[in-house]
Amino acid sequence: MFGIESLLVVTVVMPLAAAVLTALFGPRLLRSQSHWPTIVALAISLAASLLLVWQVAQEAEATHTARQNEPVPSAQPTSHSLGYERTLTLWTWTGGGEVGQTALSVQPVQDPLGPPPRIEVTLRIDPLTAIMLATVLTISFLVAVYSVGYMHGDPGYWRFYSYIALFVFSMCMLVSVSNFLLLYVFWEAVGLCSYLLIGFWYQRPAAAAAGKKAFLVNRVGDFGFALGVFLLWLTYGTLNFHDVQTGGQTQPGILGQTFLQQPEQYVGGAVGTAIALLLMAGACGKSAQWPLHVWLPDAMEGPTPVSALIHAATMVTAGVYLTARCLPLFLAAPIGPLVVACIGGGTALLAALIALTQTDLKRILAYSTISQLGYMFLAVGTGTALGVTAGMFHLFTHAFFKALLFLAAGSVMHAMGGVIDIRQFGGLRRHLPWTHTTMLFGCLALAGVVPFAGFWSKDAILLAVGQQEGLVYQVLGWAATATAFLTAFYTFRAFFRTFYGPERIPEETGGHVHEGPPWMTAPLVVLAAASLVVGAYFEWTHGFAHFLAQTPSLCLAGLALEGPRAELVSHSQVALLSTLVVLAGIGLAALLYLGSRTVLEGLTRASAAVGLYGLSYGKFFFDELYQAVVVMPLTGLARLCGWLDNQAIDRAVDDVGAAPRALGALFRSLQVGLVPFYALAMILGVLVLLGALMTG
């Protein structure tokens, strides 16, 4: 029907067109109808991406079947390519001309670093990209529809949709470019959109500060990412993912077939470790992993749809995507996967602990996002086929139920007149039946109760971690299990306090508590259904793992995704354990928040007595720590520089300027305005000249 390449281009370009259109015509022409370009474009893109997934699955299956059927000649094991990928070069951004032109009589001046990099704007499509595109566009479309109700009447309505469309474009490009440089460009572009949308209500100082904080913390990670890209360029001499056929020869790309078939060619040792760690720094910044997790909770100052789209479902998964995409590079480094797993597991536990005591509904969800992202990193960090698949699977399911949770929280916020503190409301289930039901679905999915999406993916992660050898992974496995318990507890803590208990309605609502318009409830219902279905469907059909296994980066030799599946026994053991743990968490939450308050108060008092409560409530004081360690010295340095600038440099300049003024003040009293006086002064000058003439 459609070529895969044209589908890809349509998928990517439509949001850009919507962004430009909305930006151009929004403020004057479209005004309150500014959502139409974005919604239409996202619908088209979504359809195209779903079509793309289907076609890619077809072709990948065909390739796979053909490959398995043909006899593999033992003499040339590298004759066929690994996985399935298609690339589409749009144009050459920079770099030398065609290869045929190098045979000039005049030799160009040789750069000691080699020829200038040839950067081509190349899109790629493989199963990983296809999955990411479908996820991003599904969530984006639903959030865009939801925002019609949520953002209605906002003075920056057109601006909001323009930003959203621009973000979707950047995110689609991020997952579909085939080049580290372009990846970096769109990495920054999504950061920019995130900044713009966090600070969307820029009149509020908190929002502006949160946007700034997100941008600056991301800079730290991006700096590492940029260094990683430089190091890649120095090490491999190219930035392409794929092999480039120039003339008769092949220029191997970093994640191209040449390297993948001979993974021992990857540079290991110190350089490889450095590359892995630097890329991980970038991933940490974008995905809000420890120690760069501090920006994400503050990012909740943005509009709730933005939180749902960018800071829960899509952009923050870019780090996971990067790690999965560059898995061969991590595997080449001695401790690469271990570092990723440790950071992920540690962050998961840390964020879950913090989320226990937070009172802001959106912040609880933000910390749960950090925690779930930690799960994904933990899974990818196992470096096994099962782990990567589980991580990507969790990314996929998490996008649905976390977007659902945020949108439901937004619905609560909408009904409560902007109040989001769970201490100020309660017992809302009668007022917000749709929100209540859908949020229950989301909570169950997040906690990981049996039929819901979160159960399957979390289970896969626990299984993948449990299968790893070594003490570290054992500890991480127990930490993940503990995190599952904590997740169930804090999720239902928030849920119970919001929808059950005595009915409390804050004054900001003005007594007018109502469900949102259909624009808002429809996406909630769709997402709730998806949260219920997607996990089970893909788990039972094994379609996800099978599809994802066709990604070239994950087809690394020695990383057989198609290997023997885990034994059913261990699988059921893990599932049983996690279900028990989750049920215990939910039960504890029900006991504490639905039962008598004496137990809760006693527990709170006891934990506060040993300082645990304050530690969790204060978010482990990371903000204060960074304030003291990073911000204060820098501020001091800036003050010092400012003082020097004011007192030394400026003063010197001022004094230089004041010297003629002071000198002039000496003679200013001579300006008496009397003509004979001026003549006298002139003659005195002549006298001096005469004296000089006679003595000289």
Q: Is 102 in the site for other proteins (CB under 8 A)?
A: no
CA separation for the pair 434, 648 (Å, rounded): 66
d(CA 29, CA 158): 10
Q: 86-94 and 119-125 as β-strands: parallel, antiparallel, unpaired?
A: antiparallel
Report d(CA 490, CA 443) in Å as an integer.
10
Alpha helices (H) in 4-34, listed in sequence order? 4-25
Residues 6+ apart with CB under 8 A from 243: 250, 251, 252, 253, 256, 257, 258
Of 431, 586, 379, 576, the closest CA to residue 495 belongs to: 586
Options 102, 203, 570, 671; binder of other proteins; rule CB under 8 A: 671
Closest CB to other proteins among 640 and 684? 684
**C-alpha–C-alpha distance, residues 378 and 280, integer Å:** 13
CB of 659 to other proteins, least distance (A): 19
If the CB atoms of residues 102 and 671 are measured against other proteins, the closer one turns out to be 671
DSSP result, 548-612: HTT-GGGG-TT--TTSPPPPHHHHHHHHHHHHHHHHHHHHHHHHHHHS-HHHHHHHHHHHHHTTH
Quote the least distance from Cβ 652 to other proteins, whole Å. 28
Residue 679 interacting with other proteins (CB under 8 A): yes
Q: What CA–CA distance (Å, rounded) separates 190 from 170?
A: 6
Q: Which is nearer to other proteins, 625 or 684 (CB)?
A: 684
Q: How far is the CB of 662 from other proteins (least distance, A)?
A: 15
Measured CA to CA, the distance from residue 618 to residue 621 in angstroms comes to: 5
Per-position x/- string for 617-656, each x denoting binding to other proteins as judged by CB under 8 A, each - no binding: ----------------------------------------
Per CB under 8 A, does 687 bind other proteins?
Answer: yes
Q: State in angstroms the smallest separation of the CB of 695 from other proteins.
A: 11
Crossing angle of the two packed helices 269-287 and 336-355, in degrees rounded to 10:
20
What is the secondary structure of 212-237 as a DSSP string?
A: HHHHHHHHHHHHHHHHHHHHHHHHHS
Minimum gap (Å) between residue 696 Cβ and other proteins: 12
Of 632, 644, 658, 680, which lies in the binding site for other proteins, with binding defined by CB under 8 A? 680
Q: How far is residue 361's CA from residue 463's CA, in Å, rounded to a whole number?
A: 30
- Which residue in 98, 249, 669, 696 binds other proteins (CB under 8 A)? 669
- Provide, rounded to whole angstroms, the least separation between the CB of residue 691 and other proteins: 7
Q: How far apart are CA 529 and CA 524, in angstroms?
A: 9
Q: Is 437 helix (H, G, I), strand (E, B) or coil?
A: helix
Q: How far is the CB of 686 from other proteins (least distance, A)?
A: 7
CB 202 to other proteins: min, Å: 48
Q: Is 663 in the site for other proteins (CB under 8 A)?
A: no
Write out the DSSP string of 119-139.
EEEEEEE-HHHHHHHHHHHHH
CB nearer to other proteins: pick between 609 and 675: 675
Binding mask 560-579 for other proteins (x = CB under 8 A): --------------------
Residue (609 or 672) nearer to other proteins, CB? 672
Taking CB under 8 A as the binding criterion, the range among 575-583, 590-598, 648-656, 664-672 that sits at the site for other proteins is: 664-672
Q: Answer yes or no whether residue 673 interacts with other proteins by CB under 8 A.
A: yes
Strand partners, 94: 119
CB 616 within 8 A of CB 522: no
Question: Considering the complex, what minimum distance in angstroms separates the CB of residue 681 from other proteins?
Answer: 10
Q: Does 660 bind other proteins (CB under 8 A)?
A: no
Binding of other proteins at residue 694 (CB under 8 A)?
Answer: yes
Q: Which is nearer to other proteins, 649 or 687 (CB)?
A: 687
Name which of 397, 577, 566, 594 is nearest 495 in CA terms.
594
Least Cβ distance, residue 660 to other proteins (angstroms): 15
Q: Based on CB atoms, which residue is closest to other proteins, 73 or 676? A: 676
Q: Which is nearer to other proteins, 103 or 675 (CB)?
A: 675
Q: Which is nearer to other proteins, 29 or 680 (CB)?
A: 680
CB of 671 to other proteins, least distance (A): 4
Q: Which residue has the tokens 């536990």?
A: 349
Q: Which is nearer to other proteins, 106 or 670 (CB)?
A: 670
User: Interface with other proteins by CB under 8 A: which range of 169-177, 206-214, 635-643, 672-680?
Assistant: 672-680
Interface with other proteins (CB under 8 A), residue from 660, 666, 693, 696: 693
Q: Residue 672 CB, nearest distance to other proteins (Å)? A: 5
**Would you count residue 695 as binding other proteins (CB under 8 A)?**
no
* Residue 672 binding other proteins, by CB under 8 A: yes
Rounded to whole angstroms, the Cα distance separating 174 from 325 reads 12
Of 2 and 678, the one with the shorter C-beta distance to other proteins is 678
Residue 472 or residue 680: which is nearer to other proteins going by CB?
680
CA distances from 267 to 113, 178, 274, 371, 557 (A): 19, 20, 11, 32, 16
Q: How far is the CB of 217 from other proteins (least distance, A)?
A: 57
**Which residue lies nearer to other proteins by CB, 511 or 673?**
673
Q: Which is nearer to other proteins, 580 or 689 (CB)?
A: 689
Let me know the angle formed at the C-alpha of 121 by 116 and 124, rounded to the nearest 5 degrees: 125
| Smallest separation, CB 658 to other proteins (Å) | 18
Q: Which stretch binds other proteins (CB under 8 A): 151-159, 210-218, 539-547, 676-684?
A: 676-684
User: Least CB distance from residue 648 to other proteins, whole Å?
Assistant: 32
Query: What distance in Å separates the CA atoms of residue 299 and residue 316, rounded to the nearest whole number?
Result: 12
For residues 69 and 695, which CB has a smaller minimum distance to other proteins in the complex?
695
Count of residues in contact with other proteins, rule CB under 8 A: 18
610 binding other proteins? (CB under 8 A): no
Spatial distance between the Cα atoms of 186 and 318, rounded to a whole number of angstroms: 11
692 lies in the binding site for other proteins (CB under 8 A): no
- Closest to other proteins by CB, 249 vs 695, is 695
**Residue by residue, what is the 3-state secondary structure of 236-282?**
HCCCECCCEEECCEEECCCCCHHHHHCHHHCCCHHHHHHHHHHHHHH
| Count of Cβ atoms closer than 10 Å to residue 264 Cβ | 9
* Angle, in degrees to the nearest 10, between helices 35-69 and 127-150: 160
Least separation in angstroms between residue 670's CB and other proteins is 9
Which of the ranges 11-19, 76-84, 112-120, 682-690 carries the binding residues for other proteins, by CB under 8 A?
682-690
Instruction: Pick the closest to residue 623 from 345, 129, 213, 161 (CA basis).
Output: 213
Piece of the chain touching other proteins by CB under 8 A; list 279-287, 527-535, 552-560, 673-681: 673-681
Beta carbon of residue 688, minimum distance to other proteins (angstroms, whole number): 10
Question: Site residues (CB under 8 A) for other proteins?
Answer: 668-669, 671-676, 679-680, 683-684, 686-687, 690-691, 693-694
